Structure 1
Amino acid sequence: MSTRSRGKSVYYFPGGKREAGETDVEVLCREIKEELDVEIDRDSAIYIGTFEAHAHGHDAEVLLQMRCYEANFSGTLTASSEIDCFEWMRYRDRERTSEVDQKIFDFLWERALIDM
């Protein structure tokens, strides 16, 4: 699932920046709660990989690194905070996402974890 923030032209996987002292799973839980108003099951969180690419809308030397996890959640997904909308995407929607997300889409496709 990908999200689009207000005023942005591309979709991103939900998430955000780490605050001082936070673990990956703490960031995951906090950001998903803020952006999609659901609770992550911390015990189900599984590290998928780290992906890096040019940060969309920034100078060429600015890179974005995403540490990705898979996890179960409870609640009803609701766009909140800066999120304008969310969409369940398939591989064919890859070009509508940021550069780093395109790398994640490729990773998922190569492992048959996402449909065409």
Structure 2
Amino acid sequence: MPDILVAAIALIRNRRVLMVTARGRDVIYMPGGKVDAGETLPQAAAREAREEVGLALTESALSEMFTVVTQAHGEPAGRLVRMTIFLARTGEQPVASAEVSELHWASTAELHRCPPAGAEVLARLRRLGVID
């Protein structure tokens, strides 16, 4: 099974990172999603940020931070997600889209609410000293 390629943004404010809840789901996750055919990782991150949280990000507003590779949430054992995280710089305020029911400003206190990739992202952001 090929890895699921995902690009996501890390919008950090006040030592918290923006996460979202999808309609009908109970986990929180990074704003992002699968990379479409012919799309670069930064393009996918910017598109997903616009679709999920209404941010109009240019590629120059994104800086690649790291990639996590872990078991994909809700997929058969052994199916991996390869999620590349981009630091997003913007003064815009995020808003929930039709895909998103709620925005969350998360710290590592919310690890228990995250699928494996999101939990790893929070842990790495904490190790980098940018969130609590």
Residue in structure 2 matched with residue 73 of structure 1 by the alignment = 90
Structure 2 residue 81 is matched with structure 1 residue 64: yes
TM-score, normalised via structure 1 length: 0.91
Note the C-alpha offset of 1:71. 1.6
Of residues 7, 23, 26, the one that matches 2:40 is: 23
Q: Which moved more, 1:80-89 or 1:37-46?
A: 37-46
Give yes or no for contact 1:41–1:71 (8 Å, CA) kept in 2. no
SS at match of 2:37: coil
Check the 8 A contact 1:54/1:62 in 2, yes or no.
yes
**In structure 1, the residue corresponding to 2:42 is in which secondary structure?**
helix
Residue 5 of structure 1 aligns with which residue? Answer: 22
Structure with greater strand share of residues: 2
1:74 to partner: Cα distance: 4.7
Q: How does 1:1-116 map to 2 (within 5 A)?
A: 1-115=18-132
Change (3 A) 1:21 1:98: same
Across the two proteins, how many residue pairs are aligned to each other?
Answer: 115
Give distance in 1, aligned partners of 2:98 and 2:52.
5
**What is the aligned-residue identity percentage?**
28
Gaps of 5+ in 2: 1-17
Q: CA separation in 1, counterparts of 2:86 and 2:24?
A: 26
Looking at both structures, which has the greater relative contact order when contacts are Cα pairs under 8 Å and sequence separation is at least 6?
A: 2
Distance in 1 (CA, whole Å) between partners of 2:95 and 2:61 is 21
Structure 1 runs (4+) greater than 3 angstroms displaced: none
Q: Which moved more, 1:33-42 or 1:71-80?
A: 71-80
Q: Deviations over 1:54-98 (max 9, x none)?
A: 111222122111011002135331111311111000111111111
Q: TM-score, normalised by structure 2?
A: 0.81
